[in-house]
Structure 1
């Protein structure tokens, strides 16, 4: 799972090809921390079909705002640089994330 920052987000995600899942999280976000092990598990399970990346919005606030990430956690799927679906806050459960992944693989 690749850790993104404000310099790598655009080349890796917005100029990336195929399906990319981005886990937007923050330093003080408890739900983000509890979700991370599940996302890592999904990256091991589905990593050959979809790219998994994460972005700490505390360190890349402008990137998050540019992607309309206003609350956390956010799990988003991009296809060829365009956001196609996202799960926000309470909807970002391990079950919903896996169901969303399965739609795109």
Structure 2
């Protein structure tokens, strides 16, 4: 369990990520979703690896339908990359740590 991983809900998403500067990774998941559970250790690793550089958060799509609708989540897991509160990229389905790290690195090293 990563101490750097944020757990958000419909009420905290705006203040924790959408109004925050910098790069963020938001993982939409659900309890019944086996691929989501497979991806969770990778999300924890990324939270530790990018501590202080990227805000990494999870949000349960079933318990937070407003946020899932706001981001037009149609499949799980959905990982949304934000920069300065705006979506810049997304991937759906399980992803390797290497692929996700490459995406985060791209947005950390390019200008907005």
Alignment TM-score, normalising by the size of structure 1: 0.91
| Kept in 1: contact 2:42–2:96 (CA 8 A) | no
SS in 1 for 2:25: strand
The alpha-carbon deviation at position 45 of structure 1 amounts to 0.9
User: What's the secondary structure of 1:103's corresponding residue?
Assistant: helix
Gaps of 5+ in 1: none
Distance 1:95 1:32 in 2: 17
8 A contact 2:17–2:55 mirrored in 1? no
Alignment RMSD: 1.2
What residue ranges of structure 2 are gaps of 5+ in the alignment?
none
Quote the Cα distance in structure 1 between the aligned partners of 2:50 and 2:66.
29
- Equivalent residue number for residue 99 of structure 1: 102
Which position in structure 2 is the counterpart of 1:13?
17
How far the C-alpha of 1:5 sits from its partner, in A, is 0.5
